[in-house]
Amino acid sequence: MSETGAGQIVVRYEHVAKAFGPKVIYQDVSLEVRRGENMVIMGGSGTGKSVMLKCLIGLMQPTAGKIFYGDREVTAMDEAELIDVRRNIAYVFQQAALFDSMTVFENIAYPLRTHLKLSEEELAARVELNLDRVNLPGVGDLMPSQLSGGMRKRIGLARAIALEPEIILWDEPTTGLDPSNTKRISELILKMQSELKVTSLIVTHDMTSAMMVADRVALLHGKRIEKVLPKADIQKEPRGTLLRDFIEGNLDI
């Protein structure tokens, strides 16, 4: 943890176990995520990919093990301490999780009103800035019901980045989208990395999107992180290895 700048470890899972009653999700999950990288987490349905994200921000607690954000142990924090973590680690939910009774503007303004003291002019400017960042200027007066699925995902992102987080957690960001919107969301993940210098943890089943956005790929299998590889090394994996077989659809997990 002594490194600084790019390459510094900003998230660390240490021997994390998680069970729901008798159902064991993890036995020994360990993973390090470096500042500024896009880490894609792959694995079969029910392997606990989304649970990893929720444990990082304290929405769930592991059964054993430790999780760190920087040098701070998230798993030892109380709710008041977690509020600060959640300001710096944004969660983009699978279904966008917009407030249906609020306009797009008010959805994006909500975290700003909650955490910052801004004038109405400053608030409006921040909302419009983030609408521009997701390529949806001028839609602040619309209601969520008036948006397409792809637009809802992008508004969910605009709300997530409103507080200028250090880390973005993406929970199946392209699920249910057509190829055009899948490409658009993947491009936004890369845009957030290049323009805002954020670190991203991306849970996905979408191999096309994963290969477009990943710097490294982690395979969650057998109740642990089985392997972590740079994207460039994946095709060098011999056929018959877990990660190569999973990506090529030859592994039933």
pLDDT at site 99: 87
Q: Yes or no: say if 32 and 216 are a contact pair by the CB < 8 Å rule.
A: no
Block residue for tokens 């949806």? 136
**Residue 253 belongs to a domain:** no
**Residue 1 belongs to a domain:** no
pLDDT at site 244: 66
pLDDT at site 223: 92
**Residue 4 belongs to a domain:** no
Per-residue confidence band for 252, with pLDDT thresholds at 50, 70 and 90: low
**Residue 219 belongs to a domain:** yes
Give the count of domains, the chain: 1
Angle at 47 between CA 215 and CA 148, to 5 degrees: 70
Block residue for tokens 């011999």? 238
**Mean pLDDT of the 123-130 span:** 94
pLDDT tens digits for 33-75?
999 999 999 988 888 899 999 999 999 999 999 999 999 999 9
**Residue 165 belongs to a domain:** yes
Range of the domain at 139: 9-247
User: Which tokens go with 39?
Assistant: 């880490």
**Residue 252 belongs to a domain:** no
Q: Yes or no: say if 225 and 235 are a contact pair by the CB < 8 Å rule.
A: no
**Residue 3 belongs to a domain:** no
Task: Return the CATH number at 46.
Answer: 3.40.50.300
**Residue 2 belongs to a domain:** no
Residue 3 pLDDT more than 80? no
